[in-house]
Amino acid sequence: MGPAAPRVARLLLDFGEELASSGAAQAGGAFTDLPEADALIKRSPEAFLTGVLFTQGISAERAWAGPYLLSQRLGHFELERIAHEEPLVAAALASPPALHRFVHTLPRWICSAARRVTDEYGGAAACIWEPGSHVLEITRRLNAFDGIGEKKAAMAVEILRRHFGVPMMGAECGSVAYDVHVRRVFLRTGLTDVDTPEAIREAARRVCPEAPGTLDLAAWLVGRDWCRPRDPRCDACRLAPACARLTGRDVEGVGVRRAQSSERSSSPESSLG
Ligand code: SF4
């Protein structure tokens, strides 16, 4: 960890607080360009859960629009029907223009999730993140779904906690998602020198022990909007005053020790695009 890491963390936390207070990262406005899609994600925990399944290998905006567009094509968003209509879900996802690049695996994940929510949570996805549950328990429950690994679970927990205001215990046990944008920012700012899930999460815990997951959205946005792989815009970046600017580092590039993770190899793009 570089000497400026605490300042980088402070800037990330300030940015995150600004986003939350301005509403820029609220579910009502930031996930997609489609107001109807945002509204569905916001009012329906089942649509949110399905959106989490969509967030792989495509842009964030496209992913979060997925549940709404799927509901339009199906003519409903009823979990009990979705649970048993995999061929219809598959056809709806794959019809041109396809709603996702993984049109073969996503229907299985969506229908499996619908069955699990129906069978284990009485059809109410909100029971997965019942208010007052511990972060680790919610993470464990999300991890049990086909198509949700540690990365998506960490992202989902942080969105629920910070942007939907779901009360949870154990914020200190939260984590940043091992995402390409987050990793790039952590490496280039000097928050960590090693590109592994453990190193990234440990770096977040070191600089923000009370709630490491709080760094997630701000780091992701910095990576997406300024700290781009080829042409980082350091002059305009929120982290510029403290960043080590190790721009030769990239998650697909050189200068860092790299992870050998199946999560990474199965997800060529960021979970959030
Ligand atoms: S864009 Fe530049 S200043 Fe911002 S995080 Fe990346 S390397 Fe640092």
Compute the distance between CA of residue 62 and CA of residue 250 in angstroms, rounded to an integer. 24
pLDDT at 26: 43
Is 262 a domain residue?
A: no
Q: Does one domain contain both 113 and 66?
A: yes
Residue 58 CA from chain centroid, whole number: 12
Identify whether 190 is part of a domain: yes
Distance CA 10, CA 126 (A): 32
> CA–CA distance from 30 to each of 37, 145, 185 (Å)?
11, 25, 21
Same domain membership, residue 203 and residue 159: no
Per-residue pLDDT of the chain (273 residues; tens, 9 = 90+): 666 788 999 999 998 888 766 555 443 346 788 999 989 998 999 999 999 999 988 888 899 999 999 999 999 999 999 999 999 999 999 999 999 999 999 999 999 999 999 999 999 999 999 999 999 999 999 999 999 998 899 889 988 987 788 999 998 888 888 888 999 999 999 999 999 989 999 999 999 998 898 898 889 889 989 999 989 999 999 999 999 999 998 886 545 555 433 332 223 233 333
Task: Say which CATH number the domain at 225 has.
Answer: 1.10.1670.10
Q: What is the pLDDT of residue 165?
A: 86
Q: Are residues 154 and 185 in the same domain?
A: no
Surface-to-core class of residue 165, CB atoms within 10 Å of its CB (0-12 exposed, 13-18 middle, 19+ buried): exposed
Question: 2 CA to middle of ligand 1, Å?
Answer: 14
In a domain, 212, yes or no: yes
Domain count for the chain, please give it. Answer: 2
Q: What is the pLDDT of residue 73?
A: 97
Residue 152 near residue 271, CB atoms below 8 Å: yes
Domain of 150 in residue numbering reads as: 35-171
Specify whether the backbone of 190 is left (phi greater than 0), alpha (psi in -120 to 50) or beta: left
Report pLDDT for 5.
84
69 and 13 fall within a common domain: no
Query: Given ligand 1 and candidates 180, 189, 221, which is best to mutate, with the most ligand atoms within 8 Å of its CB?
Result: 189
Tell me, in angstroms, the distance from the centre of ligand 1 to residue 109's CA. 36
Verify whether ligand 1 is closer than 6 Å to residue 189 (CB atom): yes
Q: Has residue 100 been placed in a domain? A: yes
- The CB density around residue 54, as the number of other CB atoms within 10 Å, is 27
Q: Is 39 in the pocket of ligand 1 (CB under 6 A)?
A: no
Record the pTM.
Answer: 0.79
Same domain flag for 82 and 103: yes
Same domain, 54 and 165: yes
Atom of ligand 1 nearest to the CA of 188: 7
pLDDT at 223: 93
Q: At what angle do helices 45-54 and 150-158 cross, to 10 degrees?
A: 140
CATH number, domain with residue 90: 1.10.340.30
In a domain, 266, yes or no: no
Atom of ligand 1 nearest to the CA of 233: 1
pLDDT at 256: 54
143 in the same domain as 206: no
Same domain membership, residue 247 and residue 122: no
